[in-house]
Amino acid sequence: MLRRTVTVTAAALAVVLGVPSASQAVPAPGSAGAGDVYYPEYGNGGYDVAHYDIRLRYYPDTDRLTGTTTILASATQDLSRFNLDFALATKSVRVNNRAAAFAKQSDHELVVTPARTIAKGAPLTIVVEYDDIPSNVVAAGFTSWNRTPDGALAVNEPEIAWWWYPSNDHPTDKASFDVSVLVPDGVEAISNGTPTRWAAPAFDGWSRWSWRQDKPQATYLTFLAIGDFDTYQDTSADGSPIVTAYNTRLDAATAAAAKTSVERSDEITDWLAGLFGPYPFGARGGVVTGAGDQGFALETQTRPVYDGRSFIRGSNNSLVVHELAHQWFGDSVSVGQWKDIWLNEGFATYAQWLWSEDQGEGTAEEIADYVYGTVYPADSAFWQVLPGDPGAGDLFDGAVYDRGALTLHHLRRLVGDEDFSAILRAWTDAKEFSAGTTPEFQALAERISGVDLDAFLQTWLYTPGRPDLGVSALAVPAQPKSWPQIAAARH
């Protein structure tokens, strides 16, 4: 009785003072970050995106990019305002049919204050209009938009979306995408997923290219490649469209070498599906840029983008295996925190070892011994970078790749082939179109194998120095035949 009286009094007081009760929170700003420990300001809080519709016009002669992105989202709290991650000059923002106030807070945070507050669970339609020269825009100390002699590339990790569309830029908020780009006639504009308009004449001298990704996609895995490309279209046995593209500035020998690898994407995808479970997406292919245009390959969803330079010395199927393995590990199952990056790169690297074994160019065991015993001697600085927590500055250090793959190989030895295979398939199944963390992977692997992995993962992922394999004098292993290609494909 006393308690009840106090409750009533407190509630009455709350009404007088305007203090929120649990069921009627005062709308508050969404956070400026998604809670990433390495990148606290990447992504945002307070809403969840379901779909991006990105409509652009690009002028290759001047690098001018104009456009409108419409975001369909829902509020995850009562919202007074929220942030978008975006670096370009913004002309207008509308939220739920009303003009919204907006202000740049830092080089990539756009603070949007809607005319009316948004209730938790309510739909949000956000329309952002913009016009800028992306190659002039510096954020986080650099310009990720990459202007090329015949167009531009929006391909990078983790920072790229800010230079071409506003977003909730963290892999934990995935969405479907429509990307539609007007370019001058004769210029190609290639993106993820299924082509819905292919060089469709728009108006005098301009054509529209439209792409649809209906499966959840992380913002950094959404790409745009504009330029002069030779393109090829086919259909996979499962009915998905295959689109491949090669920049016309590639010399004939490099273009031919690139094709011998990238034209096998469909077959390699099927081979990987045999290891990891069904291919998660409804489109396939690959894009090869001019030699040196970007200096790396990236596992952009459904259609990795490769640098032509990777094929200057000939084909590199191992690189294609790496980027396509990421379709499971990185794209369908994304990192829950950027510090979990080994869940992407260790797995994609290990897929290369398995491909080597399949091709008779060195078994995974031989490669593991070679990496452990020869490539990185015990006193190498390599062993000081922790794959499970490399630090933002070493996100793509060799240790994330090679020690990450070694971790998987020794996990396989510990739990046996059968459980190891079951772990990989259960992980891609449980986390499909989602995100996962290392502790979640450990819990799943322990459940399947029945093995306590605390000490094992502590040693391999979180302890400096070369793990002791209990071998006093390891013979120096010979270099597996596949090693040069594997080493050239650390992307």
Smallest gap from Cβ 200 to Zn ion, in A, equals: 34
- When asked if residue 258 is in the footprint of Zn ion (CB under 5 A), the reply is no
Pairing of strands 305-307, 206-217: unpaired
Pairing of strands 284-289, 305-307: parallel
Smallest gap from Cβ 209 to Zn ion, in A, equals: 27
Smallest gap from Cβ 305 to Zn ion, in A, equals: 12
Task: Return the number of the residue (259 or 491) whose C-beta is nearest Zn ion.
Answer: 491
Smallest gap from Cβ 345 to Zn ion, in A, equals: 5
Task: Return the number of the residue (212 or 491) whose C-beta is nearest Zn ion.
Answer: 491
Residues 336-365, mask of contacts with Zn ion (x by CB under 5 A): ---------x--x-----------------
Smallest gap from Cβ 491 to Zn ion, in A, equals: 5
* 398-415 and 417-430 helices, crossing angle to 10°: 120
Report the residue closest to Zn ion, judged by CB: 348
Paired with 72 in beta bridges are 51, 125
State whether residue 48 is helix, strand or coil.
Answer: strand
Structure token pair of residue 7: 């409750």
Question: Among 361, 263, 365, 274, which residue's Cα sits nearest to residue 315?
Answer: 263
Task: Return the number of the residue (49 or 400) whose C-beta is nearest Zn ion.
Answer: 400
Smallest gap from Cβ 297 to Zn ion, in A, equals: 8
Task: Return the number of the residue (394 or 446) whose C-beta is nearest Zn ion.
Answer: 394
Q: How many residues in the shown chain lie near Zn ion by CB under 5 A?
A: 3
Task: Return the number of the residue (348 or 423) whose C-beta is nearest Zn ion.
Answer: 348
List all residues 6 or more positions away from 55 whose beta carbon is below 8 Å from its beta carbon: 67, 68, 69, 70, 180, 181
Task: Return the number of the residue (34 or 221) whose C-beta is nearest Zn ion.
Answer: 221
Residues 432-471, mask of contacts with Zn ion (x by CB under 5 A): ----------------------------------------
Task: Return the number of the residue (33 or 404) whose C-beta is nearest Zn ion.
Answer: 404
Task: Return the number of the residue (182 or 341) whose C-beta is nearest Zn ion.
Answer: 341
Compute φ and ψ for 431, nearest 5 degrees: -110, 15
Peptide bond into 27 cis (omega under 30): no
- Residue 363: HSE in the Cβ half-sphere, 13 Å Cα cutoff: 5
Structure token pair of residue 427: 């992980």
One DSSP character per residue, 111-132 reads EEE-SS-B-TT-EEEEEEEEEE
Task: Return the number of the residue (348 or 445) whose C-beta is nearest Zn ion.
Answer: 348
CA distance 339 to 396: 11
Smallest gap from Cβ 188 to Zn ion, in A, equals: 25
Quick check: 330 and 389 in contact, CB under 8 A?
Answer: no
Smallest gap from Cβ 79 to Zn ion, in A, equals: 36
Residues in the chain: 491
Smallest gap from Cβ 296 to Zn ion, in A, equals: 9
Task: Return the number of the residue (181 or 400) whose C-beta is nearest Zn ion.
Answer: 400
Smallest gap from Cβ 261 to Zn ion, in A, equals: 16
Which own/partner contact pairs does 358-362 have at CB distance under 8 Å and 24+ positions apart?
358/271, 359/317, 359/482, 361/480, 361/481, 361/482, 362/480, 362/481, 362/482, 362/483
Structure token pair of residue 134: 């992306």
Identify residue 202 by its one-letter amino acid code.
Answer: A
Task: Return the number of the residue (403 or 491) whose C-beta is nearest Zn ion.
Answer: 491
Pairing of strands 194-203, 206-217: antiparallel
Task: Return the number of the residue (339 or 491) whose C-beta is nearest Zn ion.
Answer: 491
- Residue 453: HSE in the Cβ half-sphere, 13 Å Cα cutoff: 26
Smallest gap from Cβ 401 to Zn ion, in A, equals: 7
Smallest gap from Cβ 349 to Zn ion, in A, equals: 7
List all residues 6 or more positions away from 187 whose beta carbon is below 8 Å from its beta carbon: 60, 150, 151, 207, 226, 227, 228
State whether residue 55 is helix, strand or coil.
Answer: strand
CA distance 170 to 174: 8
Task: Return the number of the residue (348 or 368) whose C-beta is nearest Zn ion.
Answer: 348
- When asked if residue 297 is in the footprint of Zn ion (CB under 5 A), the reply is no
CA distance 371 to 390: 19
CA distance 82 to 113: 7
Smallest gap from Cβ 128 to Zn ion, in A, equals: 31
Site for Zn ion in 45-74 (CB under 5 A): none
**Interface positions with Zn ion (CB under 5 A):** 345, 348, 491
